[in-house]
Amino acid sequence: MNLPTPAVVAVRGAQRLPRFPLLLLCAAYILPGLFGRDPWRQADLSSFGFMASIAQGHAPWWQPAIGGVPAEGGPLPYWIGALAIKALPFADAAFAARLPFALILMLTLMLVWYSCFHLACTEAAQPVAFAFGGEAQSIDYARALSDGALLALMATLGLLQLGHETTPELLQLLASSLFLYGLAAAPFRPVKSRWAALVSLPVLAASGAPIVAMVLAAIGAWLCNRSRYAAARALVKWLLLAGLLATVSAWEFNAWAWRINTAAPVELSLRMMNLLAWFTWPAGPLAAWTIWRWRSHWQRRHILLPLVCALIPIVTSILMGGSDRALLLALPALALLAAFALPTLQRGFAAAIDWFSVFFFSAGALFFWVYYSSMQLGWPAVPLANLRRLATGFEPHFNALALFFAVLATLAWLALVRWRTARHQHALWKSLVLPAGGVALGWLLAMTLLLPPLDYARSNRPLVEQLQKTIPAHVDCIATPDQALSTSAALEFQGQWRVDGVHALAISPCSYALQSSQAQIPEGWEKIALVRRPTDRATGFAVLRRAR
């Protein structure tokens, strides 16, 4: 029995988003942050440290390490960055390593578009046929929904920072998106679907998520086995083969790592609710609306497939104690679900999204410009004083090119707001244009107007510059036991010191050491300096020298 779908779409609602503005929007989202900044602390800097250690010969290709501390998970993501560094010796190493990951983000956006297109082309996803004609045509409808899925993913807050880092999770995101594409395109592109399955799951396993890869293989085989499409059912054996290859890949790449993190149920529940609320906005709420409005069709492939592919990373995130990086893999599937909410949205709800986006992102842009004015003109004085208080030693500098792109982005935002609010638009994707444009605007302004203070506060370069005043350039090595990998990576790459992060101070061969300022100075060492990052207040690092 074929139940009527909740999607009621006329021909005028299935308009494509013009390609040139869409490409400009994607460029404004992907390119900022690619140039003119250091790797930032924690995962971004430590991942870059593994890449640089391979490229510079400090660690073997098969076992990336920083100061002798090996990386968890598979080495494949670090190989990509290391190959880029070696291929571009004339470029800044951080920029070179970031280039392939920008390409990965672009490919992820493309795969989400094509996944939604194929799902929307299935019979069960089609809009209601009108008695006298005039309903949207299948291909036009699928293209409009695909534009909406792409905008939904770009508008998602959780992708904003993590999607612009050089971390294994971004390669995992690409692999999971490729797997999703393989299942979605199975009825229409059987050969491409097989290759997508055979590539995606081994890459996912070699990037540090082998269990997720094997679960996806099993769930994908189950979904395809129950499909009405013969081509989809034929994909089952390829998915099982891909699962086997993922197991072999994880074994050969030594990608197994125990990351289960148990937490108190109440604490974990509150953390997950908070994480889901902001990390998946606005795709998450729209996906929930899709599940409700299409509840009588939930077993159809255009709902069940992305729903299952979203639930697996959500469960993984829960098992890892509320990890945002595990939840990142759910975003492509949530964007697909969000796209199918667009034909069912009421006009009042769509208008609320528009006006919220206008006020929220316009206020954010004004905030960025006020701080920029304070840094460059000294007026108003309070923002600059706050920056200097939060990041000790920061002094602003002028960049004409950054100002040029910031002005262009702001003018484009004003034009977009005027276009969206000046007349009634019927296209399905209209409700997501302002959220996606606002996120791109905020990221571009942050990476142009506020990049100097952000880079100063988030980079470890100011810390290294302080250490260079205390530690000679040609010491044998610096011991960094129990320090964050990002700190060791900064010493090794930016400071050009050899680092020993493995041995305790009592047995380390190094003549200098770095430890927490609150730790007790061990016997045989003397404290010669105390250094802090610009944003540190209570804590810092004690520079130790072996007692003579």
Q: Which residues pair with 531 in a beta bridge?
A: 541
| pLDDT at residue number 357 | 94
pLDDT digits (tens, 9 = 90+) for 88-105: 999 999 999 999 999 999
Asked if the model's pLDDT at residue 422 lies above 90, the reply is no
Pairing of strands 69-70, 65-66: antiparallel
Pairing of strands 478-479, 512-516: parallel
Q: Do the Cβ atoms of 78 and 58 come closer than 8 Å?
A: no
| Span of 178-187, 226-235, 261-270, 498-507 with lowest mean pLDDT | 261-270
Asked if the model's pLDDT at residue 1 lies above 70, the reply is no
Q: Which residue segments constitute the domains of the chain, with CATH numbers given?
A: 14-36+92-344 (no CATH), 347-458 (no CATH), 461-546 (3.40.190)
| pLDDT at residue number 44 | 96
pLDDT band at residue 262, thresholds of 50, 70 and 90?
A: low
Residues 496, 150: Cα–Cα separation, whole Å: 42
Question: Which 3 state secondary structure label does DSSP give 525?
Answer: strand
Contacts of 265 (CB under 8 A, 6+ apart): none
Asked if the model's pLDDT at residue 120 lies above 80, the reply is yes
The closest of 322, 255, 46, 17 to 150, measured between CA atoms, is: 17
| pLDDT at residue number 539 | 83
For residue 400 the two structure tokens come to 């004409």
Q: What is the dihedral of CA 178, 184, 189, 195, to 10 degrees?
A: 30
The closest of 371, 397, 406 to 456, measured between CA atoms, is: 397
Contacts of 12 (CB under 8 A, 6+ apart): 426, 427
pLDDT digits (tens, 9 = 90+) for 68-88: 999 988 899 999 999 999 999
The closest of 543, 491, 547 to 516, measured between CA atoms, is: 543
Residues 36, 147: Cα–Cα separation, whole Å: 31
Please, what is the average pLDDT of the chain? Answer: 93
User: Half-sphere exposure of residue 326, counting CA atoms within 13 Å on the CB side?
Assistant: 23
pLDDT band at residue 536, thresholds of 50, 70 and 90?
A: confident
Residues 172, 326: Cα–Cα separation, whole Å: 9
Q: Which residues pair with 66 in a beta bridge?
A: 69
pLDDT digits (tens, 9 = 90+) for 282-321: 999 999 999 999 999 999 999 999 999 999 999 999 999 8
The closest of 458, 482, 394, 452 to 44, measured between CA atoms, is: 458
User: Which secondary structure element, helix H or strand E, spans residue 528, and what is its range?
Assistant: strand 525-531
- Mean pLDDT confidence for 178-204: 97
Contacts of 247 (CB under 8 A, 6+ apart): 205, 210, 214
Contacts of 511 (CB under 8 A, 6+ apart): 475, 476, 477, 545, 546
How far CA 242 is from CA of 3, 125, 215, 220, in Å, comes to 35, 28, 11, 11
Q: Which residues pair with 500 in a beta bridge?
A: 479
Asked if the model's pLDDT at residue 370 lies above 80, the reply is yes
How far CA 77 is from CA of 68, 196, 289, in Å, comes to 19, 18, 35
pLDDT digits (tens, 9 = 90+) for 237-252: 999 999 999 999 998 8
pLDDT: is 8 or 198 the higher one? 198
Task: Starting at the earlier edge strand, list the strands of the sheet with 499-500.
Answer: 499-500, 478-479, 512-516, 541-546, 525-531
Q: Is the pTM of the predicted complex or chain greater than 0.85?
A: yes
| pLDDT at residue number 132 | 63
Note the helical H segments in 2-92: 19-30, 43-55, 76-87
pLDDT band at residue 421, thresholds of 50, 70 and 90?
A: confident
pLDDT band at residue 21, thresholds of 50, 70 and 90?
A: very high
Asked if the model's pLDDT at residue 423 lies above 70, the reply is no
| pLDDT at residue number 346 | 85
